[in-house]
Amino acid sequence: MRRIKFRLTSGSSAAAGKLMQDGISSTQLLQMLLQREKLLYQNYPLSLAQGEGMIGWKDRNRECAWLCTATRRLGLDSDSTSLAVSIFDRVVTSVRIPSKYVNCVAVGSLSIAKKLLEDHEEDAPVFLNRLRTEYSSQELKRMEIKILEVLQWDANLPHLYRIVECLLSELGASFLMPSIKKHLEFLLCDSVLTSNFRWSVLAICTVSLLVEATNKHWQHPISALARACKISMSEINRCRTKVSSLWSRHMLPMPSTFHLLADLDDQDSDLDSDSMHTYNRSSILPAPSSDAPEYITSPAPRALQPTPC
């Protein structure tokens, strides 16, 4: 009886294999993502190639902030941002990149993420125009190929957003995703966190802070998730401190009960505010293409064309 009670409170009933609406178990999906992550990201902390004129962590953070802004401007989903950052990070930590080309790499990463995750086919000039960049379509194509070569044509990388979504799905709380969208974006843009902790660790920390805000017995479900993900609680605690300090530093509201119960539409409208721009400007110079806070009215994306019968 006691065990049953624990399972109910800890959320490990979800860990037993809660089926999502499509019959895919979130546990299976999480395990697959963790396996891929373990395979791809073996050495932490990540480091950048050093040298004169080479990209530094500040450049990386600036471009990630730009990616978040650009994704919102294009009307793409958050998982595209997260995958773009994942691709971008993998490229910049694998090869030497002069800082003057870093925005081009970011554009290429975003383009690949969009092509993998979004079902809207869009011509390259339209995409570049909407991003307000001056690269040509040829340059974008060449950059995409270079990035894919670095990734060995495996661009379907595990990323923060997807793991958080899986973890919340395990707890039966995937409806909370929109309320922490902004929090996730700040995580993506902080190299101190992303270079030192795997996506899975960051995801569990985020979920733990979310659960802590709603339930004082947060340790039980989080330790169950940590066991499932084979991550030590000490690492999670270390990361939690840094994550909460990052959020408080940028005056983001901690995900409280009141905050979570607030209208999600309001949360979405909050995201359009220039908080990320504030972040950019306060810490680093914004990218040339990111200094357009207003929403761009652009042509509706063309629907994906089916193959002919």
Map the footprint of other proteins across residues 68-87, applying CB under 8 A: 77, 79
Q: Is 195 in the site for other proteins (CB under 8 A)?
A: yes
Pairwise CA distance, residues 239 & 262, whole Å: 27
- For 230, phi then psi, to 5°, come to 60, 50
What is the rounded (10 degree) CA torsion for 251, 252, 255, 259?
A: 100
Pairwise CA distance, residues 209 & 179, whole Å: 13
Pairwise CA distance, residues 81 & 64, whole Å: 9
Report the residue number, 70 or 147, with the smaller CB distance to other proteins.
147
Q: How far is the CB of 96 from other proteins (least distance, A)?
A: 5
Distances (CA, A) of 54 to 63, 84, 145, 296: 14, 20, 21, 32
Which of 1, 2, 5, 22 contacts other proteins by CB under 8 A? 22
Q: Is 234 in the site for other proteins (CB under 8 A)?
A: no
Name which of residues 88 to 107 contact other proteins (CB under 8 A): 91, 93-98, 100-101, 104
Q: How far is the CB of 4 from other proteins (least distance, A)?
A: 27
Q: Are 193 and 241 in contact (CB under 8 A)?
A: no
Which of 8, 16, 24, 285 contacts other proteins by CB under 8 A? 24
Name which of residues 164 to 183 contact other proteins (CB under 8 A): 165-166, 169, 174, 177
Which of 1, 4, 251, 309 contacts other proteins by CB under 8 A? 309
The residue assigned the tokens 């809207």 is: 120
Name which of residues 277 to 306 contact other proteins (CB under 8 A): 303-306
The residue assigned the tokens 């990149």 is: 97
Q: Build a one-symbol-per-residue string for 111-150: x at contacts with other proteins by CB under 8 A, - elsewhere.
A: xx--xxx-xxx-xxx-x---------x-xxxxxxxxxxxx
Q: Can you say how many angstroms the Cα of residue 280 is from the centroid of all Cα atoms in its chain?
A: 17
Q: How far is the CB of 94 from other proteins (least distance, A)?
A: 5
The residue assigned the tokens 């009670």 is: 5
Q: Build a one-symbol-per-residue string for 41-70: x at contacts with other proteins by CB under 8 A, - elsewhere.
A: xxx-xxxxxxxxxx-xxx------------
Identify which of 108, 100, 98 has the alpha carbon closest to the alpha carbon of residue 137: 108
Q: Is 245 in the site for other proteins (CB under 8 A)?
A: no
Residues 6+ apart with CB under 8 A from 280: 62, 65, 66, 69, 286, 290
Q: Which stretch binds other proteins (CB under 8 A): 40-48, 227-235, 260-268, 276-284?
A: 40-48
Q: Is 154 in the site for other proteins (CB under 8 A)?
A: yes
